[in-house]
Amino acid sequence: MVSQVGALGKHVALIGFMGAGKSTVGQEVARLTERPFVDADEELEKRHGPIAQVFEERGEAAFREIEQGLVRELLRGHEPAVVALGGGAVLLEAVREELKQRAFTVWIAVEESVAWERVEGSGRPLARERESFQRLFEERQPLYERASDAIAEDAEGVVLRALQVAMAPGRLAQPLSLGSRPIALVADPQVAALHPLELSGVVSTHHLPTGEAAKQPGVVEGLWNAFEIGRDGAVVAFGGGTTSDVAGFAAAVYARGVPWIALPTTLVGQVDAAIGGKTGVDLERGKNLVGAFHYPNGVIVDTALLETLPEQERKNGMAEVVKTGLLAGKAFWEQPEQEMVRSCAAFKCAVCLADPYEETGRRTVLNLGHTFAHALEAGSGYEVPHGEAVALGLLAALRLSDQPTDVVEEVLGPQPVGADADAAWAALKKDKKGEGVFVLLEAPGKPVVTTLRDSEARRALDALIRK
């Protein structure tokens, strides 16, 4: 069994110097991931009075003992939460050990001058004089580094790192090491030729068919038979969404599960497909009907690779960008490319942290437009590209929601496609989300899961098919 990835099943603990903004960032992370938020300093003051008073009356040693007991109590709570710790909490070895066992710990980094500006005159017992403040800042940096699993500066950064997603423009053009495990590299041959990857530890390389043809059970069986790794090995996926789907599924089942790492090279992969642990292949009667939840142990997002992306592939990816922006209620499609990718990837991470295995229903919103999209793909014999189908699916969802469609029309420009209407309808009725279940929008940023009458759904679907 592969160990749990990132913050899945664990608390997200935020550490860092006073004035780093842990509480502010923590509240936003909690909102995004729909987890409870706990500020350890606030909780301590509720129980024992103002921190400055505890310092003055009992001394720092006694304060640290109180803090240690509180942190232990908070981290041993059963429901994964977002917990902001006081700046000195990691001074105690017992707290560091508790973090290691029960939390994914993110160091919220801050410049010393910024921290001082935020806390000067606040009455904090350790922030009364600049020189000692600077000295304390320098002393604690190594502690934060040792106690943390990742470093971030804002809420988006926290949720990205909590699912082991790293934004790394230009990284894949350099020599890359992913640890000491033997690696089976699964790659899209066109990508591999265009972007030679210098990756240490590779014992075998496996090229996949192009596009949806890769997502066949026989292709995965071929990988299993060709892998030259054991349970101590790992799979690396280098390519677009189909590559990560297939490689991740192969890793999920091979040797009862080995770790895998995604190196997504398309816009679809970087904003959606490589994130969230869904892996799988297609059957004749539908997409992704055989699969597994198997979260990658790392996702390296190198936006520099998008420079060589064909225009059609970029357009396919923009469909997922628009979908994500509609769900978030933010115009992500208007952002510069690197910022756009980061925002979309962070949103996907946050939703997955809220509902990692589709148990609460929160993750269902990611299917906005996809019920229609998958039906169109099936009805066309998978001739319609996924992104084009999603664009049409979004158009249908907005129409059914009585919401403006101008964003989809202007950014994506979808046109009706050739497909067998009856075959598409049959596929829609068999959709794995449940018969008649659709994601619509009450407004941008307010998705709702609802059911539709067959007559409504059929009319909306037929309007997407070229007559």
Q: Which pLDDT belongs to residue 309? A: 94
User: Position of tokens 């390389």?
Assistant: 205
Report the candidate in 390, 375, 302, 371 with the shortest Cα–Cα distance to residue 338.
302
Residue 233 has a pLDDT of 97
Confidence at residue 282, expressed as pLDDT on a 0 to 100 scale: 87
Rounded percentage of the chain residues whose pLDDT exceeds 70 = 98
CA-CA-CA-CA torsion sign (461, 320, 274, 109):
negative
CA distance 247 to 142: 37
- Report the percentage of the chain scoring pLDDT > 90: 85
Tell me the residue ranges of DSSP E strands in 294-406.
Answer: 298-301
Q: Which of 118-122, 207-211, 230-234 has the lowest mean pLDDT?
A: 118-122
CB-based contacts of 252-258 (< 8 A; 24+ apart in sequence): 252/279, 252/292, 252/293, 252/294, 253/220, 253/224, 253/292, 254/223, 254/224, 254/227, 255/229, 255/230, 255/231, 256/1, 256/231, 257/1, 257/2, 257/294, 258/2, 258/229, 258/231, 258/233, 258/234
Of 19, 269, 16, nearest to 150 by C-alpha is 16
pLDDT band at 46 (very low <50, low <70, confident <90, very high): very high
pLDDT at 32: 96
Please determine, for residue 10, whether its predicted confidence score (pLDDT) is greater than 50.
yes
Confidence of residue 1 (pLDDT cuts 50, 70, 90): very low
356 vs 152: CA distance, rounded Å: 22
Average pLDDT value for residue range 70-79? 90
pLDDT band at 369 (very low <50, low <70, confident <90, very high): very high
State yes or no: pLDDT of 49 exceeds 80.
yes
Identify whether the C-beta of residue 98 lies closer than 8 Å to the C-beta of residue 15: no
Ranges 200-204, 233-237, 427-431: which has the least confidence: 427-431
pLDDT tens profile 188-224? 999 999 999 999 999 999 999 988 889 999 999 999 9
Cβ-based burial of 374 (10 A; exposed 0-12, middle 13-18, buried ≥19): buried
Residue 105 has pLDDT above 60, yes or no: yes
Which of 168-172, 282-286, 418-422, 462-466 is predicted with the least confidence, judged by mean pLDDT? 282-286
What are the structural domains of the chain? Answer: 11-162 (3.40.50.300), 167-309 (3.40.50.1970), 362-462 (1.20.1090.10)
Read off the pLDDT of each residue in 404-431 and give the average, rounded to a whole number.
94
Give the per-residue SS3 of 171-186. Answer: HHHCCECCCCCCEEEE
Please tell me the distance from the alpha carbon of residue 344 to that of residue 332, in angstroms, as a whole number.
7
| Closest C-alpha among 323, 344, 327, 379 to residue 264 | 344
Q: What share of the chain is helix, strand, coil (3-state, %, to 5)?
A: 50, 15, 30
Look at residue 225 in the predicted model and tell me its pLDDT.
Answer: 97
Q: Is the pLDDT of residue 55 over 90?
A: no
Which pair of structure tokens corresponds to residue 369?
A: 């437009």
pLDDT digits (tens, 9 = 90+) for 328-360: 999 999 999 999 999 999 999 999 999 999 888
**434: confidence class by pLDDT, cuts 50, 70, 90:** low
Residue 11 CA to residue 77 CA, distance in Å, equals 9
- Answer with the residue of higher pLDDT: 141 or 210: 141
Long-range interactions of 446-450: CB distance < 8 A, separation 24+: 446/329, 447/326, 447/327, 447/365, 447/368, 449/361, 449/364, 449/365
Tell me the pLDDT band of 60, cut-offs 50, 70 and 90: confident
pLDDT at 250 over 90: yes
Q: Residue 151: pLDDT above 80? A: yes
pLDDT category at 118 given cuts 50, 70, 90 is: very high
Strand pairing category for 234-239 and 103-108 = unpaired
